[in-house]
A and B are shown apart, each in its own frame.
Chain A
């Protein structure tokens, strides 16, 4: 009898607290049976699926195997923490696009912001209607992000975007469909000599970071310049052209967006920089990852790289920082996502890796709601990450169990289409890639949903 059941004590951080008592549970019980037990013990009105954590790792197998894996003897009491299960994501809508979508942002409430390879930035609302179409560039737009700006009203947003044509720009896009002007390019950012790979803004919207293929990271502020800070490229072909240029320039001076120069140029990477992000809640520290297999920490004010995590032979594609600022996840071309602990003294080692069958191109950490302020989100303590890969499958990982993804969803039925970008705000997940845009809902228990109609 003793060998076929174990003594278990349940703890939780959810509102559903069980009075502390010991249970004798048979060893062949799995998550489902334990969840039923909790529900019965709590006598909940509506059954809630729970997931269980044993010593920091999620219970996948039955109790007996879990106990054996962790090396718990028969006399010890198992402490199991339970939390609400994350339901697998459900597809809500598909917004097929003509061209590949390189970037998506869900930060505007009730709207999706997409950047496409045809040079357009599009704004959709939750009713799948195209609100605005901004032909921002001639060349493909690689990255787009929302610049939170307290000055602008609810009717327009400030959008920063970077493109293959070596420039980035700040554009004001109006949320009202028929407003005039629908968009306005406020300024264009010139620094890089190679296509931009990413552009991000800090939480206040005061500064921007651009990362590019020319190993440089530009640190910008978001003030609109009144005159050109960067001279236009002069054509040494003929003097007549030059004269003509100058004339043209003076005429269209007022209407044209001014060229802006960076505040600081961060130069340390030895290969293409794929992503640069601000540290959560700060605009002084930044992290970047690149194809030279490093993750670098920067002091932006001084423009100096303070720390480097070098992982050999792992060109990094994307980077995400947890809101508490302690963990950094970087996806790389060798089909892994490495987890780095920034607090550990030896920054050269990873604390965990998530194995993928195809190249994981993008990562996102869930954000509670669109208007995120300085305080860190007070969501559930579940550290979850969504990764999108080149095989068209987006995987939801719980960082406590690194063995396999909690859920995986395939975007765009048919042949695998690469996912190029994901964004997760609240319960809405936007997946962008070769097949267009897909919107998914990731729920938690029976929380009241806000959003998709």
Chain B
């Protein structure tokens, strides 16, 4: 094929001979490479075969073109002639892929240049006409992974997968076959394909990072094609007139800037503070700051002052003996008194460098670093001191411990009870109008009296020589004598409540009616005015002569004080502010407590004057009691507050318990 190419080339050569006169006149070489080669065979060594329209930049070594180019040419020729004769398509193709170039001196420019052999555009001149064993094309090879064939040849027949050797074969191939190291895996044919030396050369150059072209000379001289003398561009590359925008502010830049400006104006971009060059440095006037109230930090620990031990010329007695030296060496570093041994030098210039200098400095720095800056005072609160000192229960005895007796009575609600002064009897009054007398020890009802309406209050007379109790119902007060009284007491009671000789009856809305000779039961009845309402509370004076009752209704007639001995009742208050809840007699003095809803007023009955108003701060007072000593009053209310008053102190409660 090459010969045919050569023959073809020879023919135009003959044609070109006639043209050569013209070519000589124009000084253009029209000869092809083959002609050139033939010329060389004939002895013609130098011939300019290439027609340069454009002078090629041949950075390749022009210097070595003379020698090498000839050698190469001859080599090429030889190869060409010899390689083409057996018409080995592979060698031809390889030589076609990697044509060998020649460096010759260009006749036009006089500079060396690289020349490649002419490409004969024959049928087989490129590899596209080669027989492709597998014509599937550029497809992912894993498509055929599980199939026995790898593709199809030109006739449509399957190209079977070549036998794949196992690992042992592959290993042996690396040992025995030298070309296995220089083979590449061809995906198309699924085989190892040995690489040609040219290919290997290119691969080597690529891996080394060099220019893969073997003939490239990186050290060639600079050829100033455009800037060299005589080579300056005389004519402009383009005849277009220079645009005005080269001298105007840039349109595109303005557009970009306007975009940013609009964003800034809208607030989408916030500009940063410009760092002004002449800004003052931020100064802190530390000496003008107000002194802090915090305690000053603790002073740094002072280093110990040097003593004779540290001296470079201490007195002899400071120098350690051998035994002392041994002891010093044997002790631990922490336990040593001094970390050095005293040494004596006769003069300062004989003193060597101190070996422990850095260590000591470091320790001193550590001391300063770890020194406490502030002293924190720890709160040393003994938790036991927070527990209040409550009295032990044994000192508060006796107090109720357990429920020892329950009295069962009828279905009605019992609202009031009272125990007799000797503690053996209890009277209870309920909502159905029954008054029961109970024996305390056993819980057995002894007697019963029935009245109309509810029982508002029951109180036993505190006198020990008589024995009777008062029952308060609607508008009435009944004085009842319990049964089984010894005769002495019975007589005394009868004479107190229902004496034979009645004092002269006074004109009053209150009527006292007694039944003399009664031994058991109601002996005396006081009829209060009809609008009084249910008696809420009965309070006895300690002597058992005066009796105060509080009724429900109106303010004026709500408090009555009755005197049993004189059979006389009176309403001591003309007008009371607020609804009276409770009254109490003072145990010692002739004072009278009246508790309304919010206040407790203390009256002197003898002088008929208001002494004090206690303000417990309770919204609704429900109960009140006074200590037998007469100095302390406790007032309780429905809002779960209990106030303790000391009557010698002011009107405000001494303590409020919630």
- Complex: chain A residue closest to B487, CB-CB: A233
Interface bits A324-347 vs B (CB < 8 Å: 1, else 0): 000000000111000000000000
**B453 an interface residue at 8 Å Cβ cutoff?**
no
Contact B486 A272 (CB under 8 A): no
Question: Could you list some 29 contacts between A and B, CB below 8 A?
Answer: A100-B444, A102-B442, A139-B484, A140-B446, A164-B439, A164-B446, A164-B484, A165-B483, A165-B484, A166-B486, A192-B486, A194-B424, A194-B486, A195-B424, A195-B484, A213-B422, A213-B424, A236-B491, A237-B494, A237-B516, A272-B424, A313-B398, A334-B401, A335-B404, A358-B404, A361-B442, A390-B404, A390-B405, A418-B442
Contacting residues, chain B, for A236 (C-beta < 8 A): 491
A237 touches B500 (CB 8 A): yes
Beta-carbon nearest neighbor of A272 in chain B: B424
B516 nearest in chain A by CB position = A237
A100 proximity list for chain B (CB < 8 A)? 442, 444
The reply to whether the CB of B23 lies closer than 8 angstroms to some CB of chain A is no
- Is there an interface contact between B405 and A359, defined as CB atoms closer than 8 Å? yes
**A193 pairs with B404, CB closer than 8 A:** no
Q: Give complex CA distance A359, B443 in Å.
A: 12
Residues of B within 8 A of A257 (CB): none
Does A397 count as interface, using CB distance less than 8 angstroms? no
CA distance A418 to B397 in the complex (A): 27
Bitwise, B417-442 to A at CB < 8 A (1) or not (0) is 00000101000000000000001011
CB-defined contacts of B488 to chain A, threshold 8 Å? 193
Selected from A117, A166, A237, A361, the residue in CB contact (under 8 A) with B444 is A117
Residues of B within 8 A of A420 (CB): 442
Taking the complex as formed, is B119 at the interface, i.e. its CB lies under 8 A from any CB of chain A? Answer: no
Measured CB to CB, the nearest residue on chain A to B398 is A313
Write out the residue numbers on chain A whose beta carbons fall within 8 Å of the beta carbon of B133.
none
**Contact across chains for B444 and A140 when beta carbons are under 8 A apart:** yes
Q: Does the CB pair A139–B404 fall under 8 Å?
A: no
Provide the bound-state CA to CA distance between A165 and B494, in Å. Answer: 18
A166 to B422, CA, bound (A): 16
Report how far A436 CA is from B598 CA in the complex, Å: 52
Residues in chain B near residue A390, CB distance under 8 A: 404-405
Say if the beta carbon of B578 comes within 8 Å of chain A.
no
Which of B398, B484, B494 has a CB less than 8 Å from the CB of A166? B484
Chain B residues packing against A (C-beta within 8 Å) = 397-398, 401-402, 404-405, 422, 424, 439, 441-444, 446, 483-484, 486-489, 491, 494, 500, 516-517
**How far, in Å, is B500 (CB) from chain A's closest CB?**
6
B636 to nearest A CB, angstroms?
29
CA distance A194 to B405 in the complex (A): 22
Complex contact B443–A418 (CB within 8 A): yes
Taking the closest CB of chain B, its distance from the CB of A241, in whole angstroms, is 9
CB neighbours of A358 from chain B (8 A): 404
Task: Tally A residues with Cβ within 8 Å of B.
Answer: 30
Q: Across the interface, which residues of A come within 8 angstroms of B517, CB to CB? A: 237
Fill in one digit per residue for A173-206: 1 if any B CB lies within 8 Å of its CB, else 0.
0000000000000000000111100000000000
A-B pairs with lowest CB-CB distance, top 3: A233-B487, A193-B486, A164-B484
- Chain A nearest Cβ from B183, distance in angstroms: 93
Which of B397, B402, B422, B439 contacts A313 (CB under 8 A)?
Answer: B397
Contacts of B422 in A (CB 8 A): 213
Q: A404–B444 Cα gap in the complex (Å)?
A: 30
User: From A140, which residue of chain B is reached at the shortest CB distance?
Assistant: B446
Q: Bound complex: CA of A420 vs CA of B405, how far in Å? A: 13
Instruction: Name the one of A139, A233, A359 contacting B483, with C-beta atoms under 8 angstroms.
Output: A139
Nearest B-chain residue to A139, judged by Cβ: B484
Bound-state CA distance A19–B507 (Å) is 100
Other A-B pairs, 7, CB within 8 Å; known A164-B483, A390-B404, A418-B442: A102-B442, A139-B446, A164-B446, A194-B424, A233-B487, A333-B404, A335-B402
Instruction: Give the complex CA separation of A192 and B443 in angstroms.
Output: 22
Report the nearest A residue to B397, measured CB to CB.
A313
CA distance A165 to B439 in the complex (A): 13
* Chain A residues closer than 8 Å to B483, beta-carbon distance: 139, 164-165
The chain A residue with its CB closest to the CB of B489 is: A193
Provide the bound-state CA to CA distance between A335 and B402, in Å. 10
Residues of B within 8 A of A193 (CB): 486, 488-489
Q: Mark A135-146, 1 if CB is under 8 A from B, else 0.
A: 000011000000
Residues of B within 8 A of A418 (CB): 442-443
Nearest residue, chain B, Cβ from A193: B486
**Residue of chain A at shortest CB distance from B401:** A334
How far is A67 from B347 in the complex, measured between Cα atoms in Å?
92
Determine the distance from Cα of A238 to Cα of B494 in the docked complex, in whole angstroms. 13
Q: How far is the CB of B383 from chain A (nearest CB, A)?
A: 35
Contacts of A359 in B (CB 8 A): 404-405
Least CB distance from B479 to A in Å reads 17
For the complex, what is the distance from the CA of A163 to the CA of B562, rounded to whole Å?
36
A136 vs B354: C-alpha distance in the bound complex, in angstroms?
Answer: 124
A119-153 to B contact mask, C-beta < 8 Å, 1/0: 00000000000000000000110000000000000
Contacts of B494 in A (CB 8 A): 237
Docked Cα-Cα span, A238 to B405, in Å, equals 44
CA distance A237 to B515 in the complex (A): 13
How far apart sit A164 and B486, CA to CA, in the bound complex (Å)? 10
Residues of A within 8 A of B405 (CB): 359, 390
Smallest Cβ distance from A32 to chain B, in angstroms?
36
Residues of B with C-beta under 8 A to A233: 487
